Structure 1
Amino acid sequence: MTSAPDLTVVHVPVSDPRVRPLLRELGDEYSRRYGKDAHEELARYPDEEFTAPHGGVLLLLLEAGEPVAGGAFRRYDAATAELKRIWTHSAHRRRGLARRVVAELEREAAGRGYRRVFLTTGPRQPEARALYLATGYTPLFDTGADPETLGPLPFEKHLPRSPRTTAPTREAATQ
């Protein structure tokens, strides 16, 4: 594995055109792995759920101006952010980019007052499962079971308090 290059982290809305190639490739890969069109599932959540104050900001890592990895989080409940759409472009894998995306998402979620992160990954994504285990996530499923018999694999991680906390309020999340 080569080391992660110098990258710029930018916060963008889901509608930013630089996000489309990552989500398209993500949908294509999920469609191949699971044998059904996954693009509709990726579009299931409104973009507003991934923007402030609803508890989410899409992070996009750029290298020489091109998107190489990204992810998002959304409000799951008052204390919990849910990570979604974590992705590394196929030409840039095995460089530590997904770890960096997860760390940046956790940092941003903690800064917004979240105390816990929740996520699910699919049973046919062993590299995602390994990533979450390696980055300190607790599996909320029997790790000895055949993943295909479990469906989505849930994980959680408790976050340290951040000095810059702007907790989303119930009122703000419904406006």
Structure 2
Amino acid sequence: MIIRPRPFDHPDAVKLNDEVQLEYAERYDGDGDETPLDPSMFRPPRGLYLLAYDERERPVATGGWRSMDENGEGYADGDAELKRMYVVREARGQGLARRVLARLEEDARAAGRRRMVLETGTKQPEAIALYLSSGYEPCERFGLYRHHEDSRCFAKLLMGQ
């Protein structure tokens, strides 16, 4: 697998984002994640978006982080928010999400971010298991879905590691 930085609006990123939105809609009986995202949010040094490709150059996994600071939605100064972690169904179970996650954490740490935060939901148990096994702990809810019953938020300190 090859992991490459790509713009959030790169055609391969758009393709996988469309797929993950369909999966969110399917799992939660809704329209997907409605968090407003803009490609500029993932531009270094204030963010990064990664795509993983298989040996045939097909995009199979994605994830990004964006800088967030205190804004009244539960974020804290120095936060890096994880967004759009996704692995296509046929490539799951190979550790791709864990590899993308590690690269994103490393980059956010190098950018001076203090804490990686993420929001997921109760209907994504495999995501929750990944984050818990990667050192994330439940935290106070933040972001667009902070008042939703199914929302679960996690954080991991990046500084001092």
Cα distance in 2 for partners of 1:79, 1:17 equals 30
The 8 Å contact of residues 113 and 159 in structure 2, kept in 1 or not, is answered as: no
What residue in structure 2 maps to residue 8 of structure 1?
Answer: 2
5+ residue gaps, structure 1: 1-6, 142-148, 163-175
5+ residue gaps, structure 2: 70-76, 141-147
Identical positions, percent: 39
What residue in structure 2 maps to residue 99 of structure 1?
Answer: 98
TM-score, normalised to structure 1's length? 0.78
The 8 Å contact of residues 110 and 161 in structure 1, kept in 2 or not, is answered as: no
The 8 Å contact of residues 83 and 119 in structure 1, kept in 2 or not, is answered as: yes
Shift of 1:61: 0.9
Shift of 1:29: 0.6
What residue in structure 2 maps to residue 61 of structure 1?
Answer: 52
What residue in structure 1 maps to residue 73 of structure 2?
Answer: none
TM-score, normalised to structure 2's length? 0.84
Runs of 4+ aligned structure 1 residues displaced above 4 Å come to none
State whether structure 2 residue 129 is matched by structure 1 residue 135: no
Provide the aligned C-alpha RMSD in A: 1.7
Cα distance in 2 for partners of 1:97, 1:132 equals 13
What residue in structure 1 maps to residue 145 of structure 2?
Answer: none
What residue in structure 2 maps to residue 17 of structure 1?
Answer: 11
Equivalenced residue count is 146
Cα distance in 2 for partners of 1:22, 1:15 equals 11
Give the counterpart letter for 2:64 in structure 1.
A
**Deviation string, structure 1 residues 71-126 (Cα, Å, up to 9, x no partner):** 01101124110000000011100111111111111011011111211111012111
Work out which of the two has the higher radius of gyration on C-alpha atoms and give 1 or 2.
1
What residue in structure 2 maps to residue 49 of structure 1?
Answer: 41
